[in-house]
Amino acid sequence: MEIHLNRVDYIQVGVTSQKTMRLLPALGKKATQKVAIADHDGILTCFGMKKGEAVPVFKTLPGQKIARMDLGGAVGTPQEKIFVCSGSQVRGFTKKGKQFLTFEANLTESINAMHVSGADLFVCASYIYNHYCDCKDQDYYLSGDKINDITCLSSENLTRLIPVLACQDRVLRVLQGSELAYDIEVPGPPSVLELYNRDKGEEILYGTTDGKIGLVQIGEDSAVTKWEIDNDKKKGGILCIDTYDIVGDGVNDVLVGRDDGTVEVYGFDSTNEPALRFEHVLSESVTSIQGGCVGKESYDEVLTATYTGWVTGLTTEPQKAEAGPGDEVKMSKETQSKVEALRAELEQLQVKVLQGREQYQQTSQSSTAVSAVPVFSVNDKFTLCQDDASYSLTLEVQTAIDNLLLQSDVPIDLLDVDKNSAVVSFSECDSEQPNGNFLLATYRCQANTTRLELKVRSIEGQYGTLQAYITPRLQPKTCQVRQYQIKPLSLHQRTHSIDQDRPMNRLNLVGQFSFAEIHSWVVFCLPEVPEKTPAGDSITFYFHNTFLGTQLEATYCKGEGHFRSDNISTISILNDVLSKEATKRKINLNISYDISDDSVSHTLKMIHPKLEYQLLLARKVQLIDALKELQVHEGNADFLIPEYRNILDESANLLEEYKKQPAHLERLYGMITDLFIDKFKFKGQNVKTRVSSLLEILDNYDLNSLLEFFQ
């Protein structure tokens, strides 16, 4: 059953963080609800709608940036008290705007997640979880990785409150007091948690940074995953989730907001499986989402808040009137007044713009005026995409972007992104120079572009910095620089476990180094490793290579490090980088290896399907022009064999795919060449003179002859 919702924009506040907008409970059954929203200027705004106009209830004074908001109240009463956190402080306001609580949590870091339940307050800051009851310290927990969100379960079937933390290392941690009760592995780094039923029940919805959604039933000792929705269409990561019966079938639907601006409504079919009922795309990331009744009595809607502070409703109220030929459409008085108000507002804005321009012209010619750099906030995200082993760089600015300059001191490929309409131009680089550039690319954006998405692919073993220079359409011209580290093993991603039956190569390090030192080296080499040194004496991390599917196990403690991988090149890169880092700190390392010859043929067999596919694609693309010429010459393509006819029919798709994967074949050739050099490097032989023979074999590719050459 599809639903139709119409967009209505209400108000705009400052830049907002994730989960900083809530709907206050309705007074009557079908009455409209008040909206509370907090922004980076530290202002908490509460408003309601009357006759299509946003009427403020209260507005606080500016202050420190507000990172989260939650509603609370005594258990069993309407949850209409508003709690906000900024820095390490939590403040409480009544629905009329009177401040009744200021609580200093005395944390060294800012609070980034919060949950309120009756007299209990749960806050998280990076790695730390604290539980307070009536503002008195109760429990404390130090997490192994960054905490992104927190929620808390209370139900008749549970004997206690159960806090659940969403942690960056792809785990939901369920706590009991100050101890970890158990953890739940999820398919991506969880970014948001929401109770499926706020009043009771033990089910939690989670959303991940790579766009997956799931429902987990939490018990006191174990959990059961009910369902998961994969991100097949490569939409953005999940920033906010809510539940509300918008379809009107008596079952709560799941409302989802993503960082690419997509708003989704999932309903449930007869088998209780989630199905997409509605989708709408806004131009910027959706930071908060709520279901309720705001604009008009009896009309339900999905209310969203975006990064730049727009509060937008997707309402069930019809916004259009249709008329046939000769019919008259009469405007209601309410619509007429709306149109008149909009016209008046537009005129006022035009006058303001003219006055602003005149004032700027006068001050720019003045000899005494001082130019101030305009401040603007940038929301950026640099993440590894598992599906195509590339890094996605998303940049969002509160005003329109004029241009973006990308600069890299390591070789990287820029990949095509469908959503990106900016014009890209490349500058020549002299990579031979010390500190030379490998990439200089400029993106010129179209008018009113506030969000830009790019994709880059790095080469493992080559590490350095990617820099983005963001210039918005502001006067005077100003620019912000953001830096992103390309790590030596940049295409590796954390995983929960690895296949122990594969042939493995080992690298062992022994030396006078501390646990913190070797941990900092691993952080330097590999992505998704927490910067804070883990608690305990030793730690094990598992990784898999998103491009090839090979794996890595890293176990280390004070004075010792053990690394196992089925890919010799991974071990070779680790060996080079770790010995270089130890030399910088004047630490003497004792390095030993255990190389498995079987692992080389195993890695070649893993590369084989990818290489075969790319060679076939390249051959087909080479044939397209010749086949098209034959078709034009002969008038039709009936005389061609079915295989060639198929290439002609699919030519557009083949060219598109080939364009999307530049240098893919060269990348695979490079990996096989590195594998060949690394295999013999560990045996103490230099085989660089035989590389040309290897490339000849690759040009006439056959797996068996390649395996023979490696012997």
In tens, the pLDDT along 257-294 reads 999 899 999 998 877 889 999 999 998 899 999 999 99
- Provide the phi-psi class of 40: left if phi over 0, else alpha when psi is between -120 and 50, else beta: alpha
Model confidence over 46-88: pLDDT tens digits? 999 887 788 999 999 999 999 999 999 888 888 899 999 999 9
Residue type, 120: D
| Alpha-carbon gap, residue 364 to 356, rounded angstroms | 12
Provide the 3-class DSSP secondary structure of residue 550: coil
Taking CA atoms, 68 is separated from 37, 125, 126, 462, 628, in Å, by 10, 12, 14, 39, 59
Q: Which residues pair with 247 in a beta bridge?
A: none
> Tell me, what's the pLDDT at 77?
86
Residue type, 262: T
Model confidence over 294-336: pLDDT tens digits? 988 888 999 999 999 999 999 988 866 555 666 666 667 777 7
On the question of pLDDT at 637 being above 70, the answer is no
Q: Please give the residue that has the higher pLDDT: either 491 or 648.
A: 491
> Tell me, what's the pLDDT at 324?
60
569 contacts 678 by C-beta, under 8 angstroms:
yes
Q: Is the preceding peptide bond at 476 cis, omega within 30 degrees of 0?
A: yes
164 contacts 172 by C-beta, under 8 angstroms:
yes
> Tell me, what's the pLDDT at 667?
84
Instruction: Please give the backbone phi and psi of residue 78, each rounded to the nearest 5 degrees, phi first.
Output: -60, 135
> Tell me, what's the pLDDT at 323?
58
> Tell me, what's the pLDDT at 320?
66
Could you tell me which of 36, 7, 35 has the C-alpha nearest to residue 280?
7
Provide the 3-class DSSP secondary structure of residue 125: strand
Q: Which residues pair with 465 in a beta bridge?
A: 485
Q: Say which CATH topology domain 492-595 has.
A: TATA-Binding Protein (3.30.310)
The percent of residues above 90 in pLDDT, for the chain, comes to 46
On the question of pLDDT at 668 being above 80, the answer is yes
Sign for the pseudo-dihedral over CA of 447, 452, 453, 457: positive
Q: How far apart are the first and last CA of the chain?
A: 61
- Provide the phi-psi class of 684: left if phi over 0, else alpha when psi is between -120 and 50, else beta: left
Model confidence over 355-392: pLDDT tens digits? 888 887 887 777 777 777 778 889 999 999 888 888 99
| Alpha-carbon gap, residue 489 to 554, rounded angstroms | 13
Please tell me the class of the 378-486 domain.
mainly beta
Q: What DSSP designation does 474 have?
A: -
The tokens for 391 are 């890094």
692 Cβ contact partners less than 8 Å away, ≥ 6 residues apart: none
DSSP letters spanning 326-369? T---PPPHHHHHHHHHHHHHHHHHHHHHHHHHHHHHHHHH-SS-
Judge whether 13-233 and 492-595 match in fold.
no
> Tell me, what's the pLDDT at 71?
93
> Tell me, what's the pLDDT at 231?
87
Q: What is the mean pLDDT of residues 431-438?
A: 77
Could you tell me which of 165, 150, 65 has the C-alpha nearest to residue 110?
65
How much is the pTM?
0.87
Beta strands in 463-613 (DSSP E): 464-472, 480-486, 492-495, 505-511, 538-545, 551-557, 560-565, 589-594
| Alpha-carbon gap, residue 482 to 467, rounded angstroms | 6
| Alpha-carbon gap, residue 544 to 528, rounded angstroms | 12
Sheet with strand 274-281: strands edge to edge: 238-244, 253-258, 262-268, 274-281
Model confidence over 186-243: pLDDT tens digits? 999 999 999 988 767 789 999 999 999 999 999 888 899 999 999 888 888 999 999 9
Q: Which residues pair with 497 in a beta bridge?
A: none
By residue count, the chain amounts to 711
CA angle 526, 530, 535 (to 5 degrees): 125
Q: Which residues pair with 47 in a beta bridge?
A: 35, 56
- Provide the phi-psi class of 587: left if phi over 0, else alpha when psi is between -120 and 50, else beta: beta
On the question of pLDDT at 445 being above 70, the answer is yes
Q: What DSSP designation does 317 have?
A: S
Neighbours of 539 (CB within 10 A): 19
495-500 CB contacts, 8 Å cutoff, 24+ apart: 495/542, 495/543, 495/544, 495/551, 496/170, 496/185, 496/542, 497/542, 498/542, 498/544, 498/551, 498/552, 498/553, 499/551
Neighbours of 146 (CB within 10 A): 18
47 contacts 11 by C-beta, under 8 angstroms:
yes
On the question of pLDDT at 649 being above 90, the answer is no
On the question of pLDDT at 661 being above 70, the answer is no
| Alpha-carbon gap, residue 21 to 707, rounded angstroms | 60
Segments making up each domain of the chain, as ranges: 13-233, 378-486, 492-595, 598-710
Instruction: Please give the backbone phi and psi of residue 440, each rounded to the nearest 5 degrees, phi first.
Output: -140, 110
- HSE-CB of 424 using CA atoms within 13 angstroms: 15
On the question of pLDDT at 1 being above 70, the answer is no
Q: What is the dihedral of CA 423, 424, 425, 428, to 10 degrees?
A: 170
Please tell me the class of the 13-233 domain.
mainly beta
On the question of pLDDT at 628 being above 90, the answer is no
Q: Please give the residue that has the higher pLDDT: either 151 or 158.
A: 151
On the question of pLDDT at 504 being above 70, the answer is yes
Could you tell me which of 653, 671, 651, 650 has the C-alpha nearest to residue 661?
653
Q: What is the mean pLDDT of residues 111-115?
A: 94
User: What kind and span of H or E run contains 175?
Assistant: strand 171-176
Neighbours of 66 (CB within 10 A): 24
Neighbours of 660 (CB within 10 A): 14
> Tell me, what's the pLDDT at 220?
83
Helical segments of 475-596, H only: 515-525, 568-584
Beta pairing class for 378-385 and 439-444: unpaired
User: What kind and span of H or E run contains 598?
Assistant: helix 597-634
Q: Which of 507-511, 675-679, 702-706 has the lowest mean pLDDT?
A: 702-706
Model confidence over 332-356: pLDDT tens digits? 777 777 788 888 888 998 999 888 8
Mean pLDDT across the chain: 87
Burial of 131: CB neighbours in 10 Å, binned 0-12, 13-18, 19+: buried
Residue type, 516: A
Q: Which of 101-105, 432-436, 591-595 has the lowest mean pLDDT?
A: 432-436
Model confidence over 530-547: pLDDT tens digits? 998 888 899 999 999 998
> Tell me, what's the pLDDT at 129?
94
Neighbours of 329 (CB within 10 A): 7
Q: What is the mean pLDDT of residues 142-169?
A: 88
| Alpha-carbon gap, residue 301 to 6, rounded angstroms | 9
